[in-house]
C-alpha cells in the first residue's frame, strides 16, 4: 500500500489558489477512478487501486487531503502512516513549489522543506526527510509582491489551460510512482516543461516568403512539401 498526501487548504476560499495545486492532482486521480472522498476529522481520504490490468490487481493507494490547513499538514498525514503501518518510503507528498517556474514538475526523494510549511510539518512529525515529493512549479511572485499573498492568489485565466495539463501529468506521475517506483516516475516526468514558448522569429533571408506545408502524398523527405 502507498499513501499519496496532496497538500492544500480546506474551504471554498482556497479552492483555486496556487497553494492548492496538490489538491487538484488528487481530485484528478479520484475523478479518473470514478471514486469519491470520505471525510474524516482531519482529512479527506480515498482508497483506490492504480495500475490495474488483466491479471494484475494493481497497487492499493490511500489518497489524503489534509483538512488541518497547510501549516499543520503533518497532523493529518503522519497518524495515517502509523495506522496503516506504512514507512516514509511509502509516502508521496504532492506540493506546490514556489522556487520552480509555473509549468515545471519534478519528483525527488528527501531534502529540506524549501520553505513549504506543509512539508516542514510532515518532516517535523515524521522525524525524517526521506520521503518522495512531487513538486509542481507555481513561480515566484512579481517583484514587490509578498510570497505569502502570492501562494494564496487564484490562477489567472491564461494559466488555466497549462494548469490543466500540469495537473493531468501530475496525476500520471503519481500513478507511476505508486505502481513502478520513484526512478521510473522521475525518468518519465522530470523533463516536463509546460512553460509558454515565445513566438518564433519571422523568416528572413533567401527563403523568405516560401510556404512550407504538409502533404501526405509526398514520399520521404519528412513528408514536407515546399511550395
Residue 84 assigned to a binding site: no
Identify the DSSP state of 128: -
Tally the residues of the chain. 227
- CA-based angle 72:75:107, to the nearest 5? 75
Residue 190 assigned to a binding site: no
Candidates 2, 18, 19, 135; catalytic one: 19
Element (H, E) at 200: none
Question: How buried is residue 198: exposed, middle or buried, by Cβ count under 10 Å (0-12/13-18/19+)?
Answer: exposed
Residue 223 assigned to a binding site: no
3-class SS at 136? strand
Q: How far is CA 53 from CA 1, 57, 59, 62, 153, in A?
A: 17, 7, 11, 19, 40
In terms of Cα–Cα distance, which of 126, 142, 138 is closest to 25? Answer: 138
19 is catalytic: yes
Residue 117 assigned to a binding site: yes
- The CA distance from 61 to 51, in Å, is 10
Q: Are 32 and 52 within 8 A, CB to CB?
A: no
Q: Are 89 and 131 within 8 A, CB to CB?
A: yes
Binding residues for tRNA: 14, 69, 71, 117
Residues designated as active site: 19
Binding residues: 14, 69, 71, 117
Amino acid at each position: 500500500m502507498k499513501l499519496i498526501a496532496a497538500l492544500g487548504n480546506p474551504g471554498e476560499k482556497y479552492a483555486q489558489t496556487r497553494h492548492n495545486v496538490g489538491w487538484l492532482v488528487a481530485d484528478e486521480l479520484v475523478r479518473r477512478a470514478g471514486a469519491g472522498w470520505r471525510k474524516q476529522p482531519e482529512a479527506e481520504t480515498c482508497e483506490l487501486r492504480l495500475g490495474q490490468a488483466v491479471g494484475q490487481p494493481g497497487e492499493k493507494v490511500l489518497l489524503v487531503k489534509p483538512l488541518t490547513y497547510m501549516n499543520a499538514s503533518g497532523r493529518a498525514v503522519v497518524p495515517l502512516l502509523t495506522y496503516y503501518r506504512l514507512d516514509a518510503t511509502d509516502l508521496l507528498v504532492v506540493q506546490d513549489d514556489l522556487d520552480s517556474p509555473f509549468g515545471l514538475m519534478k519528483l525527488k526523494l528527501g531534502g529540506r522543506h524549501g520553505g513549504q510549511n506543509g512539508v516542514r510539518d510532515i518532516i517535523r512529525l515524521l522525524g525524517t526527510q526521506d520521503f518522495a515529493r512531487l513538486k509542481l512549479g507555481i513561480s515566484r511572485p512579481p517583484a514587490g509582491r509578498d510570497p505569502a499573498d502570492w501562494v494564496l492568489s487564484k490562477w489567472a485565466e491564461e494559466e488555466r489551460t497549462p494548469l490543466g495539463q500540469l495537473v493531468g501529468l501530475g496525476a500520471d506521475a503519481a500513478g507511476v510512482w505508486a505502481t513502478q517506483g520513484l526512478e521510473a516516475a522521475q525518468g518519465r516526468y522530470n523533463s516536463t516543461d509546460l512553460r509558454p514558448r515565445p513566438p518564433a522569429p519571422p523568416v528572413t533571408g533567401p527563403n523568405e516568403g516560401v510556404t512550407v506545408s504538409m502533404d501526405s502524398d509526398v514520399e520521404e523527405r519528412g513528408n514536407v512539401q515546399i511550395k
